[in-house]
Amino acid sequence: MFRTCVSFTKTCWRKYSTNLVRCHEVVKTALTECRPVVALESTIITHGMPFPQNVKCAMEVEDVVRSQGAVPATVAILNGKLTVGLTQAEIETLGDIKRSDPVKTSRRDLSYVLSTKRNGGTTVSGTIIACAITGIPIFATGGIGGVHRRAETSFDISADLTELGRSNVAVVSSGVKSILDIPKTLEYLETQGVFVASMGPTTDFPAFYSKSSGHHAPYCVNSVTEAARIIKEHRNVGLHSGLLFAVPVPDRCALDDKIIDDIIKNALEKADREGIKGKHITPFLLAEIASLTGGNSLETNIALIKNNAMVASQIAVELAKIQQ
C-alpha Rg value of the chain to the nearest Å? 19
CA 46 centroid distance within chain:
13
Applying CB under 5 A, among 156, 160, 181, 204 the residue interacting with Mn ion is 156
Q: How far apart are CA 183 and CA 116, in angstroms?
A: 38
The one-letter code for the residue type at 180 is L
Nearer to ligand PSU, 106 or 168 (CB): 106
Q: How far apart are CA 130 and CA 135, in angstroms?
A: 8
151-170: contacts with ligand PSU (CB under 6 A):
158-160
Nearer to ligand PSU, 168 or 282 (CB): 282
The one-letter code for the residue type at 211 is K
For the bound state, the minimum distance from the C-beta of residue 306 to Mn ion, rounded and expressed in Å, comes to 26
Residues 244 and 196 sit within 8 Å (Cβ to Cβ):
yes
Judged by CB under 6 A, the stretch of 6-14, 142-150, 182-190, 191-199 that binds ligand PSU is: 142-150
DSSP string, 11-45: HHHHHHHHHHEEE-HHHHHHHHTT--EEEE-SHII
Backbone phi and psi for residue 23, each to the nearest 5 degrees, phi listed first: -105, 125
Q: In this structure, what is the dihedral angle of CA atoms 18, 23, 27, 31, given to the nearest 10 degrees?
A: -10
Q: Is 177 a catalytic residue?
A: yes
Q: How far apart are CA 321 and CA 34, in angstroms?
A: 9
Nearer to Mn ion, 156 or 288 (CB): 156
For the bound state, the minimum distance from the C-beta of residue 277 to ligand PSU, rounded and expressed in Å, comes to 10
Nearer to ligand PSU, 177 or 211 (CB): 177
The helix/strand/coil state of 103 is strand
228-287: contacts with ligand PSU (CB under 6 A):
279, 282, 286
- The catalytically annotated residue of 28, 62, 104, 177 is 177
First to last CA, the chain: 37
Q: Is 25 a catalytic residue?
A: no
Q: How far apart are CA 316 and CA 38, in angstroms?
A: 7
**Is the dihedral angle over the CA atoms 43, 49, 51, 56 positive or is it negative?**
negative
- Binding to ligand PSU by residue 188, rule CB under 6 A? no
Nearer to ligand PSU, 41 or 90 (CB): 41
- Binding to ligand PSU by residue 175, rule CB under 6 A? no
- Binding to Mn ion by residue 288, rule CB under 5 A? no
**Is beta strand 71-78 parallel, antiparallel or unpaired with respect to 243-246?**
unpaired
Binding mask 46-85 for ligand PSU (x = CB under 6 A): --x-------------------------------------
The helix/strand/coil state of 171 is strand
- Binding to Mn ion by residue 90, rule CB under 5 A? no
Residue 282 interface partner, choices ligand PSU, Mn ion, none, CB cut-off 5-8 Å depending on type = ligand PSU
Nearer to ligand PSU, 133 or 302 (CB): 302
Binding mask 118-137 for ligand PSU (x = CB under 6 A): -----xx-------------
Judged by CB under 5 A, the stretch of 99-107, 148-156, 164-172, 262-270 that binds Mn ion is: 148-156
Active site residues: 41, 177
Applying CB under 6 A, which residues contact ligand PSU?
41, 43-44, 48, 106, 123-124, 142-145, 158-160, 177, 208, 279, 282, 286
Applying CB under 5 A, which residues contact Mn ion?
156
